[in-house]
Amino acid sequence: MDAEKLVTSMFLIILSFPLCISLDTLTSDQSIKDGQSLISKENNFTLGFFSPSNSSYRYLGIWYVKVTKQTVVWVANRNDPINDSTGVLSINQSGNLVLRDSHNRLLWSTNVSVQGTTSSVAQLQDSGNLVLVQDNNKMLLWQSFDYPTDPLLPEIKIGLNRITGVNSFLTSWKSQDDPGIGNYSFKLNLTGFPQLLLYEGSTPHYRASPRPWNTPVAEPSLGFTSNFVNNEDEISYFSSLDDPSIITRCVVDSSGLLQQLTWNDGDRQWKQVWSTPKLCDNYGNCGAYSICIVDSTTRFACTCLPGYEPKSLRDGSEGCVRKKLGLSMCGNGEGFVKVAHLKAPDTFDAAWMDMSMSSLECELACLRNCSCTAFINYNTNGKGFGCLSFYGELIDILEFTDYGWDLNVRVDATESAKYTRKSKGFLGKKRKLAITILSIAVPLFLVSLLAYMWLMKKRKTKDYLEGNELEDSSRHSDLSIFYLSCIVAATDNFSPTNKLGQGGFGSVFKEEEKMLIYEYMPNKSLDSFIFDHTRSSLLNWRKRFEIIIGITRGILYLHQDSRLRIIYRDLKTSNVLLDGEMNPKISDFGIARIIKGDQIQDKTTRVVGTYGYMSPEYVIFGKFSTKSDVFSFGVILLEIVSGKKNTNSYQNHPSLTLIGHVWELWREDRALDIVDSSINESFVSLEVLRCIQIGLLCVQEDATDRPTMLAVLLMLSSETTLPSPKQPAFIFRSATNDFESIIGGELYSINDVTITKFEGR
Ligand SMILES: *[C@@H]1O[C@H](CO)[C@@H](O)[C@H](O)[C@H]1NC(C)=O
Ligand SMILES: *[C@@H]1O[C@H](CO)[C@@H](O)[C@H](O)[C@H]1NC(C)=O
Ligand SMILES: *[C@@H]1O[C@H](CO)[C@@H](O)[C@H](O)[C@H]1NC(C)=O
Ligand SMILES: *[C@@H]1O[C@H](CO)[C@@H](O)[C@H](O)[C@H]1NC(C)=O
Ligand SMILES: *[C@@H]1O[C@H](CO)[C@@H](O)[C@H](O)[C@H]1NC(C)=O
Ligand SMILES: *[C@@H]1O[C@H](CO)[C@@H](O)[C@H](O)[C@H]1NC(C)=O
Ligand SMILES: *[C@@H]1O[C@H](CO)[C@@H](O)[C@H](O)[C@H]1NC(C)=O
Ligand SMILES: *[C@@H]1O[C@H](CO)[C@@H](O)[C@H](O)[C@H]1NC(C)=O
């Protein structure tokens, strides 16, 4: 070897040395030729030139180092392959990364505008991200994570960067040996409520169930957490690994399969964790208003949503339509049926999300707008807030086995009653207000009737209750069975010290064989809250409004939704019990009456009820109707708003009742003065005024001027214009009546159980 050659080879070694030292960075005076590469610091990823299997073309790309089967995660010149080994990556004078071939053709570049004169540096990070930063201040100019190829690596965000305007999404390779942009993409669609979709061209193939934003969702079976971010900087989805040592990627392959693959070092294989679409995952498999249900590993079935029937004779596979005989669903007693464990319907068409709405507000908002077809309560992380409502066709719904959302589907009054009576089936677990009232009040009432009939029969045969089961009621599987002896023991032989309530209709101790046992209501009755100085502050305006709605629904059910028309006759605050969550339940059907078929009113010679709550036609003529219950409801409503008893007297106007007092203030435009001072936090004045106005309408002198309970519910839950109230009944206290005297509707409560009599008829 001569000296000249030795010097040349030493020079070459020195020249190539810098590339070997800073393996992960490329500076403006360096380049990467085919055969050379960048390697990230912890040896996770390599950037260099490669050829796909069965291809001789050269591409610049990034692949895993530790995965022995070459797996490319990013490609620069996807649609512009190089046909030889002359490709060179460098940083040009204006600071951009550029890829050229031997003919000096530009095949790819970062194409960003770089401010200032300082040079830029490219670095391959251990996450697999190639970043271009300005040398001095490290400002990020460009990153490969903004322009992903087909895999979603952990921390890659897909969605819109609102600052740069870049919308990132995945696109498949054309085929296994062509990384060119293929026909499939996985992207965030921002039309309507944003959601992730897999497309073939512009045709949706699979849609991920939409999720609330800014509440990370752990996916333990997939080994990562899903993050949906929506703020002023971005709206995006990304996953973060629970265990960063795991090598995993979610990839859209060239055949249109979206799959999660995890590298198994032992087998030296990628293992599929999850893939889609299959069977019900295929977008819109079943058509509108139809639920796709997986039958077996190879088959699925289509079932219509409640209130809908198949479009074709066969099944719901061509979609469903509203039942032909259905009633109007706009202010006509409609309700919601909950269908559990679903993928939320497509949100592209007029879906609306409000993360500040409670479940009740969500339901009311949907009920109020006649084009609302369904709603979902997003109760993530136990926060109980979040409302997604739908205003168009409900499509691409499928049933999951043990997770998913509860979809509340708008149905007409008949359908609503049908599902309420079934109470299982489509109806889910927890329906806070309405259904609890109905499910408690109605069975209790029916049981009291059954028990009564049974007792009458028993009495004839001189057979007494002691020690016997309540046979008839034992058919109701939900009911507990009590023995008289147990109750005697529990109540210490009906000792007066155990009485919680007091009434005026005979003595409770003479009624040994007439009894009704109530569910224990830990919070006692409504009057013990609203008329109590310390406890009234526990009920803020929102809670009071929810209680008003709850009572409205309870009475509406009795009047209209149940098969029997029931007139309660003794509505008052002490008959409204509150459960542990302060949900109202109507109790004490002591003097309730069932009236026949389409009969609207009845007459009695024995007026029983509570003064202050009874309507004029009932007190004077003994006539009772659903409208007399409306009167009592009006009084309760005004008492809830004001925290005062109707029978109270007012210092300035000792002769005025609460009704009279409210009427005076209403006429003077000062109705808000009546609001209970213990609702000291802010309340919605318009909502409170509306309630007062509805209250006044309910206590009108003439029964025909009072609204029905259905109208009351609609008035409470919409913003329609209300009629102006006329002067109500009973605005003055009667000098002869002692308002505190109670002539019926007594309630005896004994420790855990409450016992009341019911009137023999
Ligand atoms: C490469 O080509 C061979 C022969 O045509 C074929 O059997 C093989 O599946 C191809 N490999 C890939 C990855 O496409
Ligand atoms: C490679 O591409 C260049 C430019 O298109 C062309 O001139 C050249 O002939 C090609 N070489 C081969 C071997 O195909
Ligand atoms: C570079 O960006 C400009 C404007 O954003 C665009 O018009 C141009 O086509 C891009 N050039 C390349 C080579 O991508
Ligand atoms: C560097 O590359 C960018 C992007 O292709 C191009 O716009 C710019 O003109 C190039 N600058 C120079 C000095 O060649
Ligand atoms: C992409 O779609 C077009 C039009 O449907 C089709 O002609 C082409 O073969 C598809 N390409 C691939 C790679 O599937
Ligand atoms: C989003 O979805 C709507 C409805 O399917 C569609 O019209 C629109 O083109 C989609 N937008 C994008 C960016 O894919
Ligand atoms: C690089 O790989 C190792 C082992 O696979 C992993 O623990 C580490 O988190 C990776 N680094 C990054 C930045 O992802
Ligand atoms: C019902 O909701 C839709 C969608 O948000 C809206 O366009 C429409 O104006 C609403 N209708 C009423 C009566 O509020």
| Shortest-distance Cα residue to atom 7 of ligand 4 | 111
Q: What is the 184 CA–ligand 1 centroid distance (Å)? A: 22
- In angstroms, the CA 547 to CA 248 distance is 51
Q: Could you give the maximum distance between any two Cα atoms of the chain, in Å?
A: 134
- Is there a single domain that holds both residue 136 and residue 152? no
Domain-terminating residue out of 146, 167, 196? 146
Same domain, 171 and 128: no
The CA distance from 157 to 565, in Å, is 58
Mean pLDDT across 102-127: 89
CB 226, CB 217: distance < 8 Å: yes
Two tokens at 598? Answer: 């389409």
Q: Which amino acid is at 710?
A: L
Q: Is 285 among the domain residues?
A: no
Residues 96, 177, single domain; the answer is no
720 lines ligand 8 (CB under 6 A): no
User: Exactly one of 570, 588, 629, 676 is catalytic; which is it?
Assistant: 570
Give the pair of three-digit tokens for residue 663. 């009427």
Q: Please give the span between the terminal C-alpha atoms of the chain, in angstroms, as a whole number.
A: 126
CB-ligand 3 contact for 111 (6 Å cutoff): yes
Q: How far apart are CA 618 and CA 573, in angstroms?
A: 19
**Which pTM value belongs to this model?**
0.63
Instruction: Give CA separation, 757 vs 452, 531, 565, 586, in Å.
Output: 10, 26, 21, 16
Do 492 and 540 belong to one domain? Answer: no
Q: How confident is the model at residue 557 (pLDDT cuts 50, 70, 90)?
A: confident
In a domain, 254, yes or no: yes
Query: Rounded to an integer, what distance in angstroms lies between the CA atom of residue 500 and that of residue 712?
Result: 33
Q: Indicate the residue among 112, 146, 180 that finishes a domain.
A: 146
3-state secondary structure of 511: coil
Asked if pLDDT for residue 517 goes beyond 50, the answer is no
Name the amino acid, one letter, at 707.
Answer: P
pLDDT value, residue 693? 93
Same domain, 655 and 694: yes
From 550, 719, 733, select the one nearest 640 (Cα to Cα): 550
CB 423 within 8 A of CB 562: no
On average, the pLDDT of the chain sits at: 78
The strand order across the sheet containing 217-219 reads: 167-168, 158-161, 234-241, 224-230, 217-219
Same-domain status, 158 and 134: no
Atom 6, ligand 4: which residue's CA is nearest?
111
pLDDT digits (tens, 9 = 90+) for 170-212: 999 999 999 999 999 999 999 888 899 999 999 999 999 888 7
C-beta 605 within 6 A of ligand 1 = no
Residue nearest to ligand 3 atom 3, measured at CA: 111
| H or E element at residue 452 | helix 434-460
Mean per-residue pLDDT for 317-329? 85
Question: How many angstroms does the Cα of residue 199 sit away from the middle of ligand 6?
Answer: 10
CB–CB of 358/269 below 8 Å? no
In a domain, 39, yes or no: yes
Do residue 391 and residue 441 come from a single domain? no
CATH number of the domain that 545 lies in?
Answer: 1.10.510.10
3: in domain = no
**Ligand 2 midpoint to CA 101 (Å):** 10
- Is the pLDDT score of 638 beyond 80? yes
- For 149-161, write each residue's pLDDT tens digit: 999 999 999 999 9
Ligand of minimum distance to the alpha carbon of 353: 8
Looking at the structure, tell me whether residues 648 and 707 fall in a common domain: yes
On whether residue 138 sits in a domain, the answer given is yes
What's the number of domains the chain is made of? 5
Dihedral over alpha carbons 543, 544, 549, 553 (to 10 degrees): 100
Chosen domain end from 411, 442, 460: 411
Q: What is the pLDDT of residues 383-426, one digit of tens each?
A: 567 889 999 899 999 988 877 888 999 998 888 877 765 544 34
Distance CA 412, CA 337 (A): 10
Same domain, 540 and 596: yes
For the chain, percent of residues with pLDDT exceeding 90: 37
| C-alpha to C-alpha distance for 711 and 714, rounded to whole angstroms | 5
Measured CA to CA, the distance from residue 227 to residue 752 in angstroms comes to: 47
Say if residue 531 is in the same domain as residue 655. Answer: yes
404: its two tokens: 């998913």
Q: How far apart are CA 751 and CA 497, in angstroms?
A: 10
Best of 97, 98, 104, 115 for a ligand 4 pocket test (most atoms within 8 Å of beta carbon): 98
Q: Which residue in 150, 205, 203, 202 sits closest to 176, CA to CA? A: 150
Please give the sequence-ordered ranges of beta strands (E in DSSP) within 587-668, or none if there are none: 593-595, 601-603, 623-625
CA dihedral defined by 717, 719, 721, 723, rounded to 10 degrees?
Answer: 20
- Selection from 216, 212, 237, 229 nearest residue 157 by Cα: 237
3-state secondary structure of 374: strand
Q: Is 381 in the pocket of ligand 2 (CB under 6 A)?
A: no
In this structure, is residue 283 part of a structural domain? Answer: no
The domain of 718 spans 527-757
Report yes or no: 320 and 331 within 8 Å, Cβ to Cβ: no
Q: Determine, yes or no, domain membership for 309.
A: yes
Structural contact between residues 319 and 359, judged by C-beta atoms closer than 8 angstroms: no
Q: Is the pLDDT of residue 442 over 80?
A: no
Report whether pLDDT(492) > 90: no
Max mean pLDDT among 442-456, 545-559, 572-586 falls in: 545-559
The reply to whether 370 falls in a domain is yes
| Ligand 3 pocket, mutate which of 92, 106, 111, 166 (most atoms under 8 A from CB) | 111
Pocket test for ligand 2, best of 80, 83, 104, 107 (most atoms within 8 A of CB): 83
Average pLDDT over residues 259-268: 92
Query: Comparing C-alpha atoms, which of 52, 71, 54, 51 is closest to residue 63?
Result: 71
Q: Are residues 352 and 446 in the same domain?
A: no
Examine the residue annotation and report whether 570 is marked as an active-site residue of this protein: yes
Q: Does residue 562 surpass a pLDDT of 70? A: no
Distance from C-alpha of 51 to C-alpha of 61, rounded to nearest angstrom: 10
Domain shared by 108 and 240, yes or no: no
Per-residue pLDDT, 229: 93
Establish whether residue 181 lines the binding site of ligand 5, counting it when its CB lies within 6 angstroms of any ligand atom. Answer: no
Could you give the percent of the chain with pLDDT greater than 70? 75
Tell me, what CATH number does 230's domain have?
2.90.10
* Lowest pLDDT segment from 102-106, 239-243, 586-590: 586-590
